[in-house]
């Protein structure tokens, strides 16, 4: 059993449930954030939401700068994040998700986003991103807190196709963090 085994894989109720806001930033919350960062880095993902480790609380961790072992870490912990603005030209991005090992799907989202969230010190911070991985990641992770995953943004046909591909990838032994199955 490794850290990757803590990741909840689709299909799972936790990935389709509205998460509760965090009332108090206590030791438990700090421990949760710490554990989620460890899991995210172990899987070399750029974001992880609490429901993906089976905790139905509004907390996400993000690091869009980390590119693998030895690279500099730039972790963000977002508590009760909310999207203030999502606008700008819609942009397609090939997204992966640690809860869907073995696949990536093209999702169209607004290119510009402003997010407000508390940090671990209880300060309300604002994050703004445009046309980059961070803009995508913020929206993808906040979706998870509302029971929405990347495949929910696809047309019914594309969604069915992606889920079929996902089933095949899982049977082939895909692990969280992999977006393609080795041939
Ligand atoms: Ni995800």
- Active-site hit among 13, 141, 178, 182: 141
Distance 168 CA to ligand 1 centre (A): 19
Distance 67 CA to ligand 1 centre (A): 17
Distance 150 CA to ligand 1 centre (A): 7
Distance 180 CA to ligand 1 centre (A): 15
Distance 88 CA to ligand 1 centre (A): 22
**What residues have a C-beta under 5 A from ligand 1, the ion?**
97
Q: Model pTM?
A: 0.96
One digit per residue, pLDDT tens: the chain, 183 residues? Answer: 689 999 999 999 999 999 999 999 999 999 999 999 999 999 999 999 999 999 999 999 999 999 888 889 999 999 999 999 999 999 999 999 999 999 999 999 999 999 999 999 999 999 999 999 999 999 999 999 999 999 999 999 999 999 999 999 999 999 999 987 654
3-state secondary structure the chain: CCHHHHCCCCCCHHHHCECECCCCCCHHHHHHHHHHHHHHHHHCCCEEEHHHHCCCECEEEECCCCCCCCCCCCCEEEEEEEEEEEEEEEEEEEECCCCCCCCCEEEEEEEEEEEEEECCCCCEEEEEEECCHHHHHHHHHHHHCECCCHHHHCCHHHHHHHHHHHHHHHHCCCCCCCCCCCC
pLDDT in tens, 60-102: 999 999 988 888 999 999 999 999 999 999 999 999 999 999 9
Residue 168, pLDDT score: 97
Residue 2, pLDDT score: 87
Residue 68, pLDDT score: 84
The answer to whether 95 is a known catalytic residue is: no
């Amino acid at each position: 059993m490794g850290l990757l085994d803590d990741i909840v894989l689709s299909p799972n109720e936790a990935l389709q449930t509205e998460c509760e806001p965090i009332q108090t930033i206590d030791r438990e919350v700090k421990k949760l954030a710490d554990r989620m960062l460890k899991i995210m880095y172990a899987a070399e993902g750029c974001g992880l939401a609490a429901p993906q480790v089976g905790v139905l609380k509004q907390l996400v961790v993000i690091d869009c700068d980390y590119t693998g072992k030895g690279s500099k870490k730039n972790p963000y912990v977002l508590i009760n994040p909310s999207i203030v603005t999502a606008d700008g030209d819609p942009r397609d991005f090939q997204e992966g998700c640690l809860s869907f090992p073995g696949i990536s799907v093209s999702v169209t989202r607004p290119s510009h986003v402003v997010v407000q969230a508390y940090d671990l010190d209880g300060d309300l911070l604002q994050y703004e991103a445009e046309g980059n991985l961070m803009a995508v990641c913020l929206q993808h992770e906040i979706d998870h807190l509302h029971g929405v995953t990347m495949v929910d943004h696809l047309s019914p046909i594309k969604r069915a196709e992606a889920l079929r591909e996902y089933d095949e990838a899982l049977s082939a032994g895909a692990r969280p963090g992999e977006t393609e199955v080795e041939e």
